[in-house]
Amino acid sequence: MQLLLLTERNGEPAEVAPSLAFLDHELTSARLTREFDPASHRDVELVLIDATANLGAAATACRAVAARAEGLPVLVVVGDAALAALKASWGFDDWLLPSAQPAEIETRMRLARERSATDQPSREASVGDLSIDEDTYIVRLRGRPLDLTFREFELLKYLAGNPGRVFTRGQLLQEVWGYDYFGGTRTVDVHIRRLRAKLGAEYEQLIGTVRGVGYKLDPHGASSSGRPDERGAPAP
């Protein structure tokens, strides 16, 4: 199994949980961060997140993996003293102590993978002429693939997952960029403009503006005349 350990430690991965050294799996490590790019870890089958040193950073990393790599099992390595701080809202599948024995770690990983395979929902969504495939990170409009950046994909996917619902810029920033993103809300406006440009004049109204509130994905927003209308005009 291909394992990825997200940690702030600079030493060997086995320092987080010594028994990891005895498992017959390929283990790589990466820096614990609020950003997680699934495209950079396509072969990973399970993620271990080190919460033994920085619980807050571990929580953020859990949410990032859950949001951007749905269906990828996540185990949190946490010390006894921090067990009470664990929350299901982080999005992890299971936890283990640093002192866990090889058999216990192996079993927890296997069960997490089995649950993930059983519970994983369909990863392709369609809204009107728009289809979004989370496995390939490809968005198609009437069968034509769109050239989107990772963040544009995530933003469009989130809006498409809640068609018709209006989100404020702050809500989109929190859900798509993360809880500890420090950029301004105008970042959302910039990405909305880019998405509309890539959808083209006929379909740019799929992303509608509710003035004074925010944005929504409108399944009926395609302009029948091929020209944009006022409903999706950018907010001042």
Find the angle CA(117)-CA(120)-CA(125) to the nearest 5 degrees.
145
Q: Which residue is associated with the tokens 């004074």?
A: 212
Q: Please give the order of strands across the beta sheet that includes 94-96.
A: 26-31, 2-7, 46-50, 74-77, 94-96
Kindly report, residue by residue over 25-84, the tens digit of the pLDDT.
Answer: 998 888 887 677 777 777 899 999 999 988 988 998 888 888 777 788 999 999 998 998
Task: Report all structural domains of the chain as residue ranges with CATH numbers, in order of start.
Answer: 2-119 (3.40.50.2300), 124-232 (1.10.10.10)
- Give this prediction's pTM: 0.51
Classify burial at 46, counting beta carbons within 10 Å of its beta carbon; exposed 0-12, middle 13-18, buried 19 or more.
buried
Separation between Cα atoms, residue 10 and residue 166, nearest integer Å: 43
Cα separation values, 120 from 42, 71, 88, 198, 219, Å:
17, 6, 17, 30, 25
The neighbour count for residue 97, using CB atoms within 10 Å, is 15
Q: Which of 227, 232, 222 is nearest to 142 (CA)?
A: 222
Separation between Cα atoms, residue 43 and residue 132, nearest integer Å: 21
Kindly report, residue by residue over 148-176, the tens digit of the pLDDT.
Answer: 898 899 999 999 888 889 999 988 988 88
Separation between Cα atoms, residue 16 and residue 114, nearest integer Å: 24
Kindly report, residue by residue over 122-152, the tens digit of the pLDDT.
Answer: 566 788 888 888 777 889 998 889 998 988 9
